[in-house]
Amino acid sequence: MPTPKSPSIAVSEQQKEILSKIARQSTADFREISRASLILEIDKGKPNSKIVKIMRCSVDKVKHWRYKWLNNQDALMKVETEHQNNNKLEKNIREILKDNPRPGAPPTYSSEQYCQILAVALEHPEESDRPISQWSSRELADECNDRGITSGISGRQVGRFLKRNGCETSS
């Protein structure tokens, strides 16, 4: 039994111009460039198997982006007809080409807290009235908790932060 033909997508001339512009950009994110090129190939009406060979990607990726475009093409057409502004259309296309949010818990500590922890680690412990000559992960965690930078951060977590940045503490 032959495999069913993949549904075709609708890409207007204005949308093709924007996708081509994205695909040619050297400063855009690689994934965005790749996805724009993929949509342009899908629009040519080629079967998934040919697109896989041309784009050197998986058939699942081609299917994913074919259906993602299909699910958004009506909204894009609406934006295109209501707003004669290419900027709004380009913004919407770039939004479609973005990654979906990843699953998992949000970060426990903000980048600001992370930077503040590193800043404290660069200070001399004597400046914080600590009777030590160099920070340990536990002392650093206590100091960050005392200053209100964090609440309840462990010495182990501080140690992981520092290790990630090539810093070492005395255990």
What span, in angstroms and rounded, lies between the C-alpha atoms of 24 and 142? 51
Domain ranges within the chain, ordered by starting residue: 13-97, 111-164
Sign of the Cα pseudo-torsion (107, 112, 117, 119, in order):
positive
**For all residues of the chain together, what is the average pLDDT?**
90
DSSP string, 36-57: HHHHHHHHTT--HHHHHHHHT-
Q: Out of 11-20, 61-70, 84-93, 118-127, pick the least confident.
A: 84-93
**pLDDT of 3:** 62
Question: Which two three-digit tokens encode residue 160?
Answer: 């992981």
What span, in angstroms and rounded, lies between the C-alpha atoms of 137 and 112? 19
CA 24 to chain centre: 20
Percent residues over pLDDT 90 in the chain: 73
Q: What mean pLDDT comes out for the span 78-86?
A: 84
| Phi–psi pair at 136, nearest 5 degrees | -105, 160
| Phi–psi pair at 170, nearest 5 degrees | -80, 135
Its pTM surpasses 0.85: no
CA angle 8, 13, 17 (to 5 degrees): 110
What span, in angstroms and rounded, lies between the C-alpha atoms of 20 and 157? 45
- Name the pLDDT band for 134 (thresholds 50, 70, 90): very high
The residue written with tokens 């965690």 in the block is 141
pLDDT tens digits, 28-40: 789 999 999 999 9
Count of CB atoms situated within 10 Å of the CB of 123: 13
**pLDDT of 169:** 63
CA 30 to chain centre: 11
